[in-house]
Amino acid sequence: MQRRFSSAIGLGLLLAFAGHAAMAQAADPTAAADTYVNAPHNWQMWFPVAGSPMQARIDWLMQYVLWIMAGVVGFVGVLMGYALWRFSAKRNPVAGHVTHNTLIEVVWIVVPTLLLFVIIFPSLNLIFYEADDSNPYMTVTVTGHQWYWEYSYNAVPGLDYTSYMVPDNQLKPGQIRRLSVDHPLVLPIGEKIKFNITSGDVLHGFYLPSLGVQRYAIPGTIVTSWTLIPKAGTYYGQCNQICGLNHDAMPIEIKAVPMADYLAWVKVAQADYTQNNVPTTPITAPPANELADAAAH
């Protein structure tokens, strides 16, 4: 009897525990981001898997330009290798005297010039694509500090928090040394996000290799960029402009989650992260499109 009772309690405790864990999981709105992690891996030889359309375009242009340049290097290498073999003193004891050939000199000016045109056109397209930060769904102001990042959600009044690297000795299972942070930047997937990047002290570099975003964080000015993340997941970046003592210890971690999770997170975050002096108005609907918003005013 007593044995049965105690096992019933045990089972009940177990159930309660499991139920609590499940609830805790449901309570973490960024859990969806844990299903896919886009991080560098050892012996990697190419760009990260593209986490944004911008990075996909960068990847494409990189292959395009690099193959052309590999062709140039290969051509020069073969040409020089052949010359060295064919005209070595052994095979060609008497040197010739040709020092001019107008045709070939014109050819090696014209052909590289044409090759540059082949590169320039898709390349300029990419510049204009990368520069087009118009009409974003939302804007995050990113401020670099010695040595942490500060994220401020322009559409959510008062939502402003800091993000520090997890020190080596406090890493939890699943976290990546030198890349994981205490409070990641949380973004909704499938929407255009604009970054207003600035700095509170020295220069920093807001660098997200898997999203193809990089801008200096410069005090006294705002430099903009943007991204759009189609897939829920965790994306990493690092500070890429020397900023003093702990330059290597201020990584960037982004959790991209579905819109519903993002909105759920905003509610939690407003409670946790909102600065004391700013009144909180919990939002229930997605923030209005900023441009439409601006037009209405």
Q: Which of residues 67-86 bind another protein (CB under 8 A)?
A: 69-70, 72-73, 76-77, 79-80, 83-84
Q: Please name the residue that has the structure tokens 């960024």.
A: 30
Give the CB-side neighbour count of residue 7, counting CA atoms within 13 A: 3
Structure tokens, 280? 């909180």
Using alpha carbons, list the distances in angstroms from residue 200 to 4, 181, 182, 208, 248: 64, 19, 20, 20, 18
Q: Interface with another protein by CB under 8 A: which range of 4-12, 96-104, 155-163, 286-294?
A: 96-104
Residue 242 in contact with another protein, rule: CB under 8 A:
yes
The answer to whether the CB of 185 falls within 8 A of the CB of 254 is: yes
Nearest residue to 198 (alpha-carbon basis) of 241, 167, 251, 135: 241
Q: Interface with another protein by CB under 8 A: which range of 29-37, 240-248, 268-276, 284-292?
A: 240-248
Residue 227 in contact with another protein, rule: CB under 8 A:
no
The answer to whether the CB of 58 falls within 8 A of the CB of 125 is: no
CB of 150 to another protein, least distance (A): 17
Going by the DSSP 8-state scheme, the letter that residue 47 receives in this structure is: P
Residue 167 in contact with another protein, rule: CB under 8 A:
no
Residue 240 in contact with another protein, rule: CB under 8 A:
yes
Residue 42 in contact with another protein, rule: CB under 8 A:
yes
Smaller CB distance to another protein: residue 124 or 291? 124
Residue 163 in contact with another protein, rule: CB under 8 A:
no
Smaller CB distance to another protein: residue 176 or 283? 176
Structure tokens, 88? 């070595």
CA dihedral sign of residues 218, 222, 225, 231: positive
Distance of alpha carbon 207 from alpha carbon 228, whole angstroms: 15
CB of 181 to another protein, least distance (A): 12
Residue 43 in contact with another protein, rule: CB under 8 A:
yes
Q: Interface with another protein by CB under 8 A: which range of 15-23, 216-224, 262-270, 281-289?
A: 216-224
Residues 6+ apart with CB under 8 A from 113: none
Q: Which of 124, 171, 259, 291 binds another protein (CB under 8 A)?
A: 124
Structure tokens, 290? 């900023």
Residue 207 in contact with another protein, rule: CB under 8 A:
yes
Distance of alpha carbon 150 from alpha carbon 139, whole angstroms: 14
Smaller CB distance to another protein: residue 149 or 273? 149
Residue 121 in contact with another protein, rule: CB under 8 A:
no
The answer to whether the CB of 182 falls within 8 A of the CB of 176 is: no
CB of 236 to another protein, least distance (A): 8
Task: Give the per-residue contact string, 128-147, with another protein (x = CB under 8 A; - = no).
Answer: xxxx--------------x-
Going by the DSSP 8-state scheme, the letter that residue 200 receives in this structure is: S
Number of residues that bind another protein (CB under 8 A): 96
Q: Which of 3, 97, 172, 297 binds another protein (CB under 8 A)?
A: 97
Q: Interface with another protein by CB under 8 A: which range of 28-36, 106-114, 183-191, 264-272?
A: 106-114
Residue 214 in contact with another protein, rule: CB under 8 A:
yes
For the chain, the first-to-last Cα distance in angstroms comes to 74
